[in-house]
Amino acid sequence: MADGPVLALDIGGTKLAAGLVDTTGRLLASERTETPATLDAEGLWSTLVALAGRVADLDEVAGVGVGCGGPMRWPDGRVSPLNIPSWRDFPLADRLRDLVPHVPVRVHNDAVAFAVGEHWRGAGRGASNVLGMVVSTGVGGGIVSGGRLVDGSSGNAGHIGHVVVDPDGPACTCGGRGCLEAIARGPAVVRWAMEEGWRPGSRQAATGRHLTADAQRGHPVATAALARAGEAIGIALASVTHLLDLEVVAVGGGLSQAGRLLFDPIETAFRRHARMQFARDVRVVPAALGQEAGIIGAGALVVAPDDRYWSAG
């Protein structure tokens, strides 16, 4: 575990973020930029290094924590982010070790980093059994149980997007059927709404953001689309709560910006299905850290006490 401020990186298909996170989880500095879509593997790496240099003196940081889009080889930190085609089996952790020698370097899934951030400093603070989930282009998450991150056998624990909520439901990109992600990810919500007759305004793209705006203006199909996603999320959360005896679920990501239009149907479906007595006090709440959750969680991988978010030694 690192004993001073660490470099934290959040690497996704649309943005790159770098931050300096201290041992209490404060974000001392941060920078972000769009993920360059046209660059090759080395070009992207150079962009990342330059961004890191703007938030920290790399000779001074006590460690490097990274949340990166999956899939990846964990704990090796060789990454093949779905939305970053130029990185395939890119040795991110090794490259960072060359860049910042003699300090711990730890790379994990970006949804896991989000969940870790929300547990350490966000909506799950003070609880020991927390699910953090992101509802965005995909649906992902991370699990803290007994105060420690759950990794599973290959670092893939937390894939709530592939909990089955409707066995006869829509096909999922994973090859399965009726996964939460197949129903609740932003593009699936938009597609369902368009099939039901919703159209974005002229000059607008058909995005979750525009759908949400229309729902907030009372558009019935847009509202129903969010309700359908919320119901699916609530069902999945009931299953997860029964399985893991959670205290808090923190929901973030673009679609969570819909607020009550999403959270009310989540709550209704969750309470309908989460009936075991021990599930009654579970709180399903909006994530608290906004886009800082991922970066703070990335830092937490190396700087949180007792290595509670890193089991790989």
| CB closer to a copy of itself, 197 vs 313 | 313
**CA–CA separation, 188 vs 152, rounded Å?**
28
Q: Which lies closer to a copy of itself via its Cβ, residue 207 or residue 239?
A: 239
What is the C-alpha to C-alpha distance for residues 279 and 72, in angstroms, rounded to an integer? 33
CB 172 within 8 A of CB 178: yes
Are the C-beta atoms of 134 and 253 separated by less than 8 Å? yes
Residues 14-53 that bind a copy of itself (CB under 8 A): none
Kindly identify the residues of this chain, within the stretch 60-89, that bind a copy of itself according to CB under 8 A: 71
For a copy of itself, the closer of residues 53 and 170 by Cβ is 170
CB 69 within 8 A of CB 100: no
Cβ distance 157 to 206 under 8 Å?
Answer: no
| 26/278 with CB nearer a copy of itself | 278
> Using the rule CB under 8 A, is 159 a contact of a copy of itself?
yes
Beta bridge partners of 144: 130, 149
**Peptide bond preceding 220: is omega within 30 degrees of 0, i.e. cis?**
no
Question: Interface with a copy of itself includes 140 (CB under 8 A)?
Answer: no
Task: Please identify which residue in the block is written with the tokens 């850290």.
Answer: 289
Residue from 240, 255, 258, 300 in contact with a copy of itself (CB under 8 A):
240
Q: How far is 308 from 142, CA to CA, in rounded Å?
A: 13
Residue 126 lies near a copy of itself (rule: CB under 8 A):
no
User: Per DSSP, what are the bridge partners of residue 105?
Assistant: 64
Least Cβ distance, residue 252 to a copy of itself (angstroms):
18
The 176-215 site mask, x for binding a copy of itself (CB under 8 A), equals: xxxx------------------------------------
Tell me the three state secondary structure of residue 177: strand
Span near a copy of itself by CB under 8 A; candidates 24-32, 90-98, 127-135, 302-310? 127-135
Q: Binder to a copy of itself among 243, 259, 290, 305 (CB under 8 A)?
A: 243
**DSSP structural state of residue 3:** S
Residues that bind a copy of itself (CB under 8 A): 71, 127-129, 143, 145-146, 150-167, 172, 174-179, 235-236, 238-240, 242-247, 269, 272-278, 311
